Amino acid sequence: MDVPEKLKYTASHEWIADHGDGTVSVGITAVAADQLGELVYVELPEPGARFRQGDACAVVESTKAASDVYAPLSGEVIASNGALPDAPGQVNVSPYSDGWLFKLKLANPEELAALLDAAAYRASAGAH
Amino acid sequence: MSGALQRTPLHALHLELGARMVPFAGYEMPVQYADGLKAEHLWTREHAGLFDVSHMGQLRARGDDLHVALERALPVDFAGWPAGLQKYSLLLNERGGIDDDLMVTRLEGGVAIVVNAACKENDVARMRLLCPGLEFSVLDHALIALQGPRAEEVLPEAADLKFMHARTMQLAGADCLVSRSGYTGEDGFEISVPAAHAVALARKLLAHPAVKLVGLGARDTLRLEAALLLYGQDMDSGTTPGEAGLAWAIARSRRAGGAKAGGFPGSALVDRARKRFLGLLGLEPVPVRSGAPLVDASGASVGRVTSGTVSPTLGKPVMLAYVDSGVSDRTHLNAVVRNQPHAVKIVPLPFIPKRYKR
């Protein structure tokens, strides 16, 4: 399963791309997308919404199941992926690029240090 | 459910062919294969899906005065019911509630009954109590369903069967009981095969290019589109046949005023209806799932969704639900998902037409 080295991860299957300017992009990993199956619905947070690390902030749903997405870091939503409501399957096709969910402006950038790296996520998810 | 999960005779084949296994009714069962739920669903609607449903209970009833005795347990009438004909029936309790739904086939010298996996033990215990003179045995056969418009092309040996008919035939070197029925709304067969021959038969069927393995995930969405109720979810021991829209499953002669009226558990209460079963189509894209409350325009609770998904065929949310008797087809209904109301409308069932070969 694809787990890019350049990203950070959570044990709850979110990936985080650190843009280095106090903002990050967030999505769900290929492992999570594969487990859920083809997505049929996404519910994304509105720009301006504020979350603390660990808050449920988005929902991704396949035919089979609904799954919460948790804010991997504290911050304010500055963008969400407007293409997904009409094409949620994009998350399965390219979970790490066109399938991004939302962008955050970080409230506590020091939280970044505690995220998992690719190797730790692979071990946590049992992915090879 | 406690203890180790049971395995079906096809367990190793599932693993070999890329199944994702999940616990289901005490068994380790394939929820999907590599193609995924939606592809498996659509394949079954267009070609033929092969399902392992060996977790279902396969019973045989035998004994003196078999048919008279069984009529004390089930609301059936064996008069004029030829060997080889299969019927859908219900095991009811004294409150008129549905303890299980089952398929009953009259055989030469016996009756075959297929029951839900989770109800197996309770069903056998109740039927032994209701029919003390009969002998009930649980077969350890595998049960393989072949479903879809190309099923007949895959199994030409059974092409002579009509919908809801069954016959014993030789397949993969074993005597199999094959019925033309299923749980998808498509034409197709269910094959009861001795456990030792199950893998050989499955491999033979899978060798046909029209056939792919389909998991329990797609089985659930297929049956939901066809508005076939799931026991334990769309009905349970507190639901009457009248409420579930299943009064037709009670033989006419066993109903009030019929020639053999009553004489089975709950017979006086089967038409009691405190709620109404219906189908709903979501008018917004949000999936509505089992357990979602239904509210009217004022926000008052008027019912509950019992099965729901996004229909892979229609691309829209579809639901089976119960509503209060006061709800009319004109009532404006909302399903509540994550505390938000989403408009739904009452539609005729099934969501997609059934394509049985009668």
Contact A41 B310 (CB under 8 A): yes
A59 in contact with B at a CB cutoff of 8 Å? yes
> Which chain B residues have a beta carbon less than 8 Å from that of A66?
287, 289
Touching check for A38 and chain B: CB below 8 Å?
yes
pLDDT for the residue numbered B343: 98
pLDDT digits (tens, 9 = 90+) for A61-76: 999 899 999 999 999 9
CA dihedral A113, A114, A119, A122 (to 10 degrees): -140
> Could A66 and B289 be called an inter-chain contact, meaning their C-beta atoms sit closer than 8 Å?
yes
- Calculate the average pLDDT of chain B: 96
Question: Residue B358's pLDDT is what?
Answer: 85
The CA distance from B199 to B193, in Å, is 10
Looking at the domain assignment, is residue A121 inside a domain? no
* pLDDT average, residue stretch B155-176: 97
Task: Print the domain residue range for A106.
Answer: 8-114
Within a domain: A33:
yes
Residue A123 lies in a domain: no
Cβ <8 Å between B310 and A63 = yes
Which chain A residues are within 8 Å of B285, Cβ to Cβ? 40-41, 85
Encode chain A (128 residues) as per-residue pLDDT tens digits: 899 999 999 999 999 999 999 999 999 999 999 999 999 999 999 999 999 999 999 999 999 899 999 999 999 999 999 999 999 999 999 999 999 999 999 999 999 999 999 999 999 998 65
Residue A1 falls inside a structural domain = no
A95: distance to nearest CA of chain B, Å? 17
Give me the pLDDT at residue A1, please: 80
Cβ-defined contact of A63 to B338 (cutoff 8 Å) = no
Strand (E) positions, chain B? 20-24, 27-32, 48-52, 57-62, 86-92, 98-107, 110-115, 135-138, 142-147, 166-171, 174-179, 188-193, 211-213, 275-282, 293-295, 301-310, 317-324, 333-337, 340-347
A25 found inside a domain: yes
Residues B79-112 pLDDT 10s = 999 999 999 999 999 999 999 999 999 999 899 9
Nearest-by-Cβ selection for A38 from B36, B285, B309: B36
Evaluate whether residue A2 is within a structural domain. Answer: no
Instruction: Give ipTM to 2 decimals.
Output: 0.89
Instruction: Report if residue A128 sits inside a domain.
Output: no
Predicted pLDDT at B1: 47
What's the rounded Cα separation, in Å, for the pair B347 and B77?
33
- Minimum distance, in Å, between the CA of residue B6 and any CA atom of chain A: 23
Based on the structure, what is the number of domains in chain A? 1
pTM score, whole prediction: 0.95
State whether residue B289 sits within 8 Å of chain A by CB.
yes
CATH of the domain at A22: 2.40.50.100
- Taking an 8 Å cut-off on Cβ atoms, the answer to whether A63 and B221 are in contact is yes
